[in-house]
Structure 1
Amino acid sequence: MELRQLRYLDAIARRRSFTSAAQELHVAQSALSQQVQRLERELGVELLRRTTRRVEVTDAGEVVLARVRRTLAEVDGLRADLDAISGLMRGRLRLGGVPPIGDLHPAVLVAEFTRAHPGVNVTVHEDVAFALLGQLHDGTLDLVIALVAHEAHDALDGVRLLDDELVLITAPQHRLARAKHVRVDRLSGEPVVAYGSGSALRDVLTGLMPDSRIVAEANDQVTIRELVAGGLGVSLMPRSVVAAHDASLAIRPLTPRQTVPISLIWRAGERPTPAAEAFRAHVLAAVHSGRTAPRRA
């Protein structure tokens, strides 16, 4: 049994695909398949079941994977500890993030961190909050920055970084654009341009506007703004995201005032790698100093 075989198995199980796992690991797909087959022969059990659409993990594979991931975590932790003794900062950091939210610019934070720690290989994956938290939970990601409250997830821990005000956006000619403030109960029945399934903002929007009709869905903020500006429907968005777009949109605060939390999240009860711990400290220092705040229009 070789360490690389364990890493191959873990990657295939996470990706549910030999092709995707080979791309992640930068190895040939044939080599990946051969090594997994060797591991299966050595253990005497089938670990993965190949179908026409995806790869499924067998019951025996799930048992093996649980130990494999603990083993890989220990190996990575050992390397990190030795690097710490040597005064080095190396390894990898896998972040789940989103576009700029509020006074927080994840890209700025990542760029600063990589300049300070060139030995750390940083990768950033962008997706809806539900998907990012799932990948954090299963070990695919080390940290996530998302528009969610970290207290809502038992297996995860974190810290609330900021709160951003949620505002209504409409086309300038929309009837609600005439009001200085819009009561939440006046949104009932409005056609809505919503975020895609799994988005934290979609959950907030549907919670505040349960009787509204969804006329379009998108995860890209530019697309949502354009659809709203064209008069298709209304939407809710963090104020900082639309602060510079008031020429094409009517932006109105809500009554009562609504905010969304921005949190940095990690797995609970697990010692972070030195790279993850360093990035966490970097984010907190940046937020406390306010140096990530963008200039408002």
Structure 2
Amino acid sequence: MELRHLQHFVAVAEDQHFTRAAERLMVSQSGLSASIRALERELRAPLFVRTTRRVTLTEAGRALLVEAERILAQVRSAHEAVAAVQGVLRGTLALGAEQCIAGVHVAGLLAAFRREHPDVEIRLRQSGSGALAEGVSAGRLDLAFAYRVPADGDQLRSVPLTSEPMTVLCHPEHRLAALGAVPDPAALAGEVFVDFHPDWGPRRATDAAFAAAGVRRTVALEVNDVHSLLDLVDENLGIAVVPRHFRHKRTSLTALPLKGVDEAAYETVALLPPERATSPAARALITLLGTPETEPGEAE
């Protein structure tokens, strides 16, 4: 099995199209098809279901994709480690981050990294915490800034960033605005909620807080960006339970402390793979962050 076969396979799996993958790899479509056929012959299993519009992975293909991504990430790390020993940091830094993550100024951090390591290509992916953790585990991302969930410590190392309480945001004319503080999640029963998709850190923190309090809630207005959430609350279409730092993003809204929940309900971390799989670029970024790493299971 050749590395180029795995590289070709991953590209087709990502693009779900042979022509687009061939263009990205700068190889001929016939050569790419031959490479995939050679891999399928060696593994004695079809890897893709081919149609006229796109290709999708078979069960065997999905199994191979996980391992292929890890192998290619390790090969890349090996090349970068040798370059680092020679005094030059090269290669790629693949970083994931949630939108408006607390505890780190991502743009400023990446600017400082580029000044120190101009030969490293930076790639940034924004997504929910679950998808980011999966990306780090699979080797697609070198590290990610995300919401901390207990399962993270089972496979990934964590660098604590910050923790903060949850806050209720509402329109100044909403009935809650006069309270000064919300006593507990039960006081919000029956409210219309605006929130993010379930994979987002703030949504996970809010769901966990309400579940711990034994209070059911329904998210009627679900969004995938911070500004849409604030706009909906600003129009008095619902309330939102968000990390405390969100209150500074729209000062026209009323921010109320949410009592009766864990004061450190929203915790953010940098997620990294095991030490042996951590790229030199990821280590350099964490050094700039200036926070010590913890082994799996340490940071709770």
TM-score (ref. length: structure 2): 0.82
Tell me if the contact between 2:96 and 2:141 (Cα under 8 Å) persists in the aligned partners. Answer: yes
State the distance in 2 between where 1:33 and 1:269 align: 36
Read off the aligned partner of 1:186 and give its amino acid letter. Answer: A
- The alpha-carbon distance between structure 1 residues 280 and 229, as it changes in their structure 2 partners (threshold 3 A), is same
Is 1:235 the equivalent of 2:240?
A: yes
Tell me if the contact between 1:166 and 1:238 (Cα under 8 Å) persists in the aligned partners. Answer: yes
- The alpha-carbon distance between structure 1 residues 258 and 161, as it changes in their structure 2 partners (threshold 3 A), is closer
Is 1:282 the equivalent of 2:288?
A: yes
State the distance in 2 between where 1:169 and 1:19 align: 48
Aligned-residue offset at 1:23 = 8.3
| Matched-pair identity in % | 29
Tell me if the contact between 2:73 and 2:140 (Cα under 8 Å) persists in the aligned partners. Answer: no
Read off the aligned partner of 1:251 and give its amino acid letter. Answer: A
Is 1:259 the equivalent of 2:259?
A: no
Correspondence for 2:219: 214
State the distance in 2 between where 1:40 and 1:68 align: 14
State the distance in 2 between where 1:10 and 1:183 align: 51
Deviation track 1:77-129 (CA, whole Å, cap 9, x = no partner) reads 33123212310000111111123333421121112111211111110000111
After TM superposition, the structure 1 stretch with the greater mean CA deviation from structure 2, 43-52 or 75-84, is 43-52
Correspondence for 1:107: 107
Aligned-residue offset at 1:261 = 0.5
- The alpha-carbon distance between structure 1 residues 74 and 147, as it changes in their structure 2 partners (threshold 3 A), is closer
Local SS of the residue matching 2:92:
strand
Tell me if the contact between 2:167 and 2:258 (Cα under 8 Å) persists in the aligned partners. Answer: yes
Aligned-residue offset at 1:72 = 2.9
Correspondence for 1:95: 95
Correspondence for 1:175: 175
Aligned-residue offset at 1:238 = 1.8
Correspondence for 1:188: 189
1:25-174 aligned within 5 A = 25-27=24-26, 30=29, 31-41=31-41, 45-50=45-50, 54-59=55-60, 61=61, 68-69=68-69, 71-149=71-149, 152-174=152-174
Local SS of the residue matching 2:118:
coil
- The alpha-carbon distance between structure 1 residues 246 and 63, as it changes in their structure 2 partners (threshold 3 A), is closer
Tell me if the contact between 2:99 and 2:225 (Cα under 8 Å) persists in the aligned partners. Answer: no
- The alpha-carbon distance between structure 1 residues 240 and 62, as it changes in their structure 2 partners (threshold 3 A), is closer
State the distance in 2 between where 1:58 and 1:46 align: 9
Tell me if the contact between 1:5 and 1:36 (Cα under 8 Å) persists in the aligned partners. Answer: yes
4+ residue runs over 6 A deviation: none
Read off the aligned partner of 1:239 and give its amino acid letter. Answer: R
Tell me if the contact between 2:90 and 2:120 (Cα under 8 Å) persists in the aligned partners. Answer: yes
**Which runs of 5 or more structure 2 residues have no equivalent in the other structure?**
293-300
Read off the aligned partner of 1:148 and give its amino acid letter. Answer: R
After TM superposition, the structure 1 stretch with the greater mean CA deviation from structure 2, 188-197 or 255-264, is 255-264
Tell me if the contact between 2:70 and 2:139 (Cα under 8 Å) persists in the aligned partners. Answer: no
Backbone CA RMSD of aligned residues:
2.9
TM-score (ref. length: structure 1): 0.83
**Which runs of 5 or more structure 1 residues have no equivalent in the other structure?**
287-297
